[in-house]
Structure 1
Amino acid sequence: MTGPADPYDAAPPYPQYPEYPKAPPAAAAHVPPQPRPDHDDLHYRHAPGTRVHYRARQRSADATALGRLALHLPAFLSSLLVVLGTSALSEAWIGLPAWVPTALWLGSGALAFHRPSERFLARHLLRLQYPLPAERALLAPVWREVTARAGVDGDRYELWVEDSNQLNALAAAGHIVAVTRQALEHLPPAQLAAVLAHELGHHTAGHSWAGLLGWWYALPGRLAWRGLTAAVIRLVRVASGFSYLAAGILLVVIGWLALATLTLTYGLPLLLLVLPYATAAVGRRAELRADAHAAELGFAPMLARMLHDVLADESGGAGARGDLPGLLSTHPDHRTRLHHLQRYLEPRGR
């Protein structure tokens, strides 16, 4: 009896899956120990047609996802003020009720889970490409194995390829999982599975959609700030063209307005200077949690092997960063990731 139709039937045939080991006969007194498998070999447990048990709840929002949303709250409020101000101007100029564009902007975050909008994001903003048939033949069985081990319906996600010579992968929006062509062509199947399990962890823990929503709802405020900064710089340059005295007076007025704003808001805008560092720290924690997700699915040795290889290829290694640019990095260094993976590599007592 054949199993249910597989979504990747159009792809070239899958690799030969190993059969499940049979119980030894009762007469066998001793079974010689089996050698440990190479970490570059992926042992497929879920061939097409085998039964897969899906978890009842396949998505959640862990502390890092909620923390990321909380850190974007000031930027969201700033953007809301910008949208309300723009909507009020549109009502005064063209008679459009102010609540209409505001409501449309507030509801636009749902597009992060809209498949056509995600495809537009993948193709035109992230510059991703659909996998070629040969690439899908490599990705499909590995992705099936990863999602089956996680108890997740892999058909809910779309696989993409980034034309890059860097060893990388990404998870975005609600359903995008992408790997670079370098990773697809050079990583062994087991290490490719570890990378995909890491990205799946970002999706199941809510990191991907939280990051995208935070970026989207902060965009109007960020654009308004850049426009205001450019206008002030332009104004100062124009004033200095007349006289240095005019430029100095203008700078004093701008400084007074900034001080008055800080006084009226009890210095709350100064918190915006700290937010990038806090956001980066939450991002590093999210990466470690995604590593833990891959390790819990059995891919810790493969992930550690890949990190060791990348660390060896880098000149001087990816050592711990103690400077300010390091504090702004959203990814922990490889040594930190290996340190947190160590507990999954140690043998566990029975």
Structure 2
Amino acid sequence: MTHQPPPSPPEYPETPAQPPQPPQYPSPASHTAQYSAAPQHPIAPESPQPPACPTGTRPPAGPAPAEPPAYPTAAQPPTYPTAAQPPAYPTDTPQPGVTPPVPPPAAPRPSPAPGDPAHPHHIATDRGRVHISAQQRRTDATAVGNLLLYLPHFLCSLLVVGLLSLLFGDLGFLLVLAWLASGALVFHRPTESALARHLLRLRYPTPQERARLEPVWREVTARAGVEGRTYELWVEDSDHLNAVAAAGHIVGVTRFAMNELPNGELAAVMAHELGHHVGGHAWSSLLGYWYALPGRTAWRVLRTVTGVMFRISRAFSCFGVVFFGLFVGGLALATISSLYGLPLLILAMPYALAAVGRRAELRADQHAAALGFAPMLAAVLEKLHQQEEQQAAAVTAAHGGVPVAESPVSRLLASHPDYYTRLHHLQPYLQPRG
């Protein structure tokens, strides 16, 4: 049996000159990093050498640990901003070769709606203390002049009614007395309502329309010191800007004025109509018209009969025309001599009544302006003027582009002053008070 020498012991590595570095462990700031797998130390199956101690190299597997944050060594003082440089404004002289920027056009501001409180002609209509003046109505010089101008018509109507009373014999004087007393119906409320409904084509306002009109009317009457419940508000179904004061207690406005005007301008319109009532213009005009109605009716009948007789006389040659002319002339001469020229005055009355009516409109404008509605009334007059110009343009277009000039007679018979005259009389109230 052969003796085998013992195996030689394994060789250990020599001690390195530098000691092995310890493994790098993650800092506390990266304690959340996890390795996916532990490092595997390879072991040689055939070599009994012990595993080599890890050196300073990082294990091959696993995610890289996060780097620790760098901390400042010394606190730096905060940096404060320096003084802001003022913006450079463009000079008056343009720079050569530089086109100055053109600012965009400013967008137009939308005009406030009529019911918007931001409208310049909006007025407050809150309830407040109302001071009622002792004198609710008066009769100014315009109303008195209107009654005096209706006097010839009244006398002619009295003559016509007296001639008709002859048909009733001894009871004819009752007809004359009844006609004289009928003037009181002007102030009778049911008669006024019938007049407003059938003659003026007005109607009662709806609850919504009354809610729109009554606060404005209350403000107008409060400024005037007038009891507003004395009058009745009516509405006219019209698309034109208009209003009316009739009889003794009727104030009517159009649907256009009620819906399209701000409450300040609507108040100016209603204050104008209240001026007609307070000054006595409304009742005096209606009273004069009522007592002139029989004479006007007789005049229209006479004119119609005269026209028919003239056409008949033309059928009997020139002799018939001459005979008719002599007959009518003699009748006119007898009438003038017996009535002291009264029929001639009647021919001039329409022009005088129109002049007094224009004066009444200026008085009503003054009343509205004195209540503080002068700017609003001027705006309403401007809108009326625009409507008149539109109507004139429509008439011109209907005549093939030829403008239709207003005749002097029509200007003399106009019941309202022109726009420029009314605006001129409002100037003292439109000027700022120092």
Q: Which band: TM-score by shorter chain? A: 0.7 to 0.9
Do structure 1's residue 254 and structure 2's residue 328 form an aligned pair? yes
| Amino acid corresponding to residue 185 of structure 1 in structure 2 | N
**1:245 equivalenced with 2:330 (yes/no):** no
Matches of 2:378 and 2:391, distance apart in 1: 15
Query: Does the residue aligned with 2:411 lie in a helix, a strand or coil?
Result: helix
* 1:40 partner amino acid: H
Distance 1:310 1:121 in 2: 26
Q: Distance in 1 between matches of 2:147 and 2:238?
A: 30
CA separation in 2, counterparts of 1:192 and 1:83?
A: 43
User: Highest relative contact order (Cα 8 Å, sep 6+), 1 or 2?
Assistant: 1
CA contact (8 A) 1:82 1:221 kept: yes
Change (3 A) 1:266 1:73: closer
Q: 1:131 aligns with which of 205, 209, 215?
A: 205
Task: Report the counterpart of residue 248 of structure 2 in structure 1.
Answer: 174
Q: TM-score, normalising length from structure 2?
A: 0.67
Is the CA contact (8 Å cut-off) linking 1:311 and 1:317 kept in structure 2? no
Aligned to 2:376: 302
CA distance in 1, matches of 2:155, 2:430: 44
1:203 corresponds to which of 261, 273, 277: 277
Q: What aligned pairs does 1:313-328 form with structure 2 within 5 A after superposition?
A: 313-315=387-389, 323-328=408-413
Alpha-carbon separation, structure 1, partners of 2:359 and 2:304: 34
Task: Give distance in 2, aligned partners of 1:127 and 1:249.
Answer: 46
Contact 2:119 2:262 in 1 (8 A): no
**Runs of 5+ in structure 2 lacking a partner?**
1-116, 393-404
For 2:391 and 2:327, the matched residues in 1 are separated by 49
Q: Are 2:220 and 1:146 equivalent residues in the alignment?
A: yes
Q: Match of 1:229?
A: 303
Give the Cα separation in 1 of the matches to 2:342 and 2:355. Answer: 21
What does residue 25 of structure 1 align with? none
Deviation string 1:66-94 (CA, Å, 9 cap, x unpaired) is: 00000000000000011111112222xxx
State how 1:22-171 maps to structure 2 within 5 Å.
38-44=119-125, 46-47=126-127, 50-91=128-169, 97-171=171-245
Q: 2 CA distance for matches of 1:303 and 1:80?
A: 41
Matched, 1:339 2:429: no
Secondary structure of the structure 1 residue equivalent to 2:233? strand
Cα shift at 1:321: 7.3
Within 2, Cα distance between the matches of 1:176 and 1:316? 30
Normalising to structure 1: TM-score of the pair?
0.83
> Contact 1:123/1:129 (CA < 8 Å) preserved in 2?
yes
Label 1:125 to 1:265 Cα distance change in 2 as closer, same or farther (>3 A): closer
- Residue range with higher mean Cα deviation, 227-236 or 307-316: 307-316
State, as a whole percentage, how many aligned pairs show the same letter.
58
CA contact (8 A) 1:59 1:203 kept: yes
Match of 1:273 among 347, 358, 362: 347
Cα distance in 2, alignment partners of residues 294 and 326 from structure 1: 25
Q: Distance in 2 between matches of 1:313 and 1:73?
A: 36
- Unaligned segments of structure 1, at least 5 residues: 1-17, 19-36
How far off its partner does 1:262 sit? Answer: 2.9
3-state SS in 2 of match to 1:88: helix
What does the per-residue CA deviation read over 1:259-297, in whole Å, with 9 as the maximum and x for residues that have no partner? 333344443422222211111111001000000100011
The AA in structure 1 aligned to 2:205 is P
Higher helix share: 1
